[in-house]
Amino acid sequence: MQAEKLSVSLPSPLVQFIEDYKMAHHCRSRSQVIELALELLRLQELEDAYRQAAQEVEPTWDAAIADGLSDETW
């Protein structure tokens, strides 16, 4: 994957956290730490979307797909 250079401004405590995390977890760079953090945010958004979609399932759907058939229909 090709990387793009991006410039961000962060408060000093966050920069220090990134540096501490990099050292503690043997990351190659600050960029890798930020990449890991963004991947976690992306996964969190995906989980939220799945959770919301599961709540939107029509309650009668289970009855409709069952159609009165048992596992032993063959």
Encode pLDDT of 7-44 as tens digits: 999 999 999 999 999 999 999 999 999 999 999 999 99
Q: What are phi and psi of 70, to 5 degrees?
A: -100, 180
Q: What is the mean pLDDT of residues 58-68?
A: 63
Residue 43 CA to its chain's centroid (Å): 0
Listed in order, strand segments (DSSP E) in 1-74 are none
The amino acid at 57: V
pLDDT band at 1 (very low <50, low <70, confident <90, very high): confident
The amino acid at 14: L
